[in-house]
Amino acid sequence: MDRAVVLRALKAGIAGTAVLSVLLLGLEVQTRSRVRVAEVVVAYVGIPGQQSLALLVFVLLTAVVWPLAFVALESRDLLPGRTRTRRAVIFALALALAFAITGRGDLSGPVLVLYGAAVLGAYVAYGLTLARMLRPLA
């Protein structure tokens, strides 16, 4: 992988992580803390009892690992979709599914629907940010 592509992917990952984090924190606000994002992240990362470490791992995943994985998969034409934007959204939807399932805990009813919609929206925004930031400037 070219160094310029790696740097662009890391910049895209940082921007995407910022967007994702703000939108997930909005979920906590909207549910009046019935959904605690930090606890969801701990469940997703799989490091119970170490919230700070789990959050650090989550940031590293979203800012470094996922963008580089996306670039690698896209460069080998392993993602469905005709455009980078579609491929990024499909990639983000796969991430959202994993996050939503592992982090839902004991949510039920309307809060579960809100949780699912918010996670879906946050990850779509993450994917769109990746796609936009990875486009070469014309």
- As a whole number of angstroms, the distance between CA 80 and CA 57 comes to 28
Is residue 107 classed as helix, strand or coil in its secondary structure? coil
Burial class (CB in 10 A: 0-12, 13-18, 19+), 114: middle
**Domain range list for the chain:** 3-132
Cβ 123 vs Cβ 93: under 8 Å: yes
Cβ 122 vs Cβ 96: under 8 Å: yes
Cβ 134 vs Cβ 20: under 8 Å: no
What are the backbone angles phi and psi of residue 104, rounded to the nearest 5°? -70, -25
Its pTM stands at 0.93
| Local confidence pLDDT in tens for the 138 residues of the chain | 789 999 999 999 999 999 999 999 999 999 888 888 999 999 999 998 999 999 999 999 999 999 999 999 999 999 999 999 999 999 999 999 999 999 888 889 999 999 999 999 999 999 999 999 998 743
